[in-house]
Amino acid sequence: MSLITLLTDFGLKDGNVGVMKGVILGIAQDATIVDLSHQISPQNVHEAALILLRSAPYFPASTIHVVVVDPGVGTSRRPIAAQLGDQYFVGPDNGVITMLLDFTKKQGLTVKIFHLNQPQYWLAEVSNVFHGRDIFAPAAGHLVSGVSISSLGTSIDNPIQIQIPQPEKMAGSLRGEVIHIDHFGNISTNVKQEHLVSKEVKTLTLNQVSINGMIRTFGERPEGELVALFGSTGNLIISVVNGNAALRLKTKVGDKVEVFIQ
C-alpha cells in the first residue's frame, strides 16, 4: 500500500492540486492519491484539523495525509512530518494535527514528530508561497517511496497546538458550540455521546430554537422536521430531515448550543 491523501484550501480551479499530484507521481509513480477536501475555508486551520480527525481513522495503516492549509507559508513556521499511530502526516507546524494528535495519544499509540529540514527531499527550487508543491508533496513522495520519516528531518517534541473548544458541564446541562456545518446543512456540535455519560437529552437550544429529545435516524420523522441525533462521527448534530438546518436556523461555526440532560 502506498496511499497519500491531500487536504487543502486550494479549491479545484487553478491546477495547484494537480501540480502536487504531478510532483508526488514524479517521485513515487505507484502512489495512490486520494483527495480528502480542497474546499477548506481559506487559511482555516481549525476546519482542516477537524476534517483530518474525522477522515484519517478510516484509512489503512501507513497512509500519508498531506495537509496544506498554511497561512504561515514562507515564514519561520516549520514544515513537519509526523507518525501518529499507524498513520502519517506531512504539512505545516501550525496546529492542524492537534485533534488527530490528541486522538492518537488517547489511544496510547506511538507519536513521533520531525522538523523537515533536509532540502534534498524537496524540489530544487523552493518558492515562498507554495510549499505544498515545493516541500510537502516531494516529502510525501519520498516517504511513500521508502525513505524513513526520521531521514526527512530532526525529531521535535513541541509541535504547535491549537485550542479546541470543549463543552462545559453545568448543573443539568452541557454548553457546547457548533464546530462544523456540512454540505447538507447538518450542524455538528462538539457535544459527543461520551459527554452525556449515562444521561439522556431532554431538550437542547440553538439560536433561540428548542428541540425536544433526540432521534436515532432521519426516517423516524417527516421531511422538513428539525431534529437532533448523533451523527456518523459520534457528535450531536442538528438537522432538518431531507432539508438544510444551517440555512433554517441561520447557524454558523462557533454558535452556542445548550443541551439539557436528565
Please check whether residue 259 is in contact with residue 173, taking contact to mean a CB–CB distance below 8 angstroms. Answer: yes
Q: How far is the CB of 44 from its own copies (least distance, A)?
A: 10
Residue 77 DSSP class: P
Q: Which of 88, 133, 178, 261 binds its own copies (CB under 8 A)?
A: 133
Of the candidates 100, 34, 92, 25, which has an alpha carbon nearest to the alpha carbon of residue 63? 34
The alpha helices in 145-195, defined as continuous H runs, are none
Residue 53 parent element (H or E): helix 45-55
Applying CB under 8 A, the site for its own copies has a residue count of 66
Comparing CB distances to its own copies, the nearer of 47 and 177 is 47
Rounded Cα distance between 204 and 129, Å, is 45
Burial class (CB in 10 A: 0-12, 13-18, 19+), 135: buried
Q: How far apart are the C-alpha atoms of 213 and 201, rounded to whole Å?
A: 6
User: In terms of CB distance, is 110 or 242 closer to its own copies?
Assistant: 242
Q: Of the candidates 102, 103, 244, 255, which one interacts with its own copies according to CB under 8 A?
A: 244
- Minimum separation from the CB atom of position 150 to its own copies (A): 25
Residues 23-52 that bind its own copies (CB under 8 A): 23, 25-26, 29, 32-40, 42-43, 51
By the rule CB under 8 A, 183 interacts with its own copies: yes
Q: Per CB under 8 A, does 165 bind its own copies?
A: no
Task: Provide, rounded to whole angstroms, the least separation between the CB of residue 167 and its own copies.
Answer: 21
- Give the strand pairing for 173-181 and 153-156: unpaired
Binding region for its own copies (CB under 8 A): 1, 3, 5, 7, 9-19, 21-23, 25-26, 29, 32-40, 42-43, 51, 54-55, 58-60, 63, 71-77, 127-130, 133-134, 180, 182-184, 216-219, 229-232, 242, 244
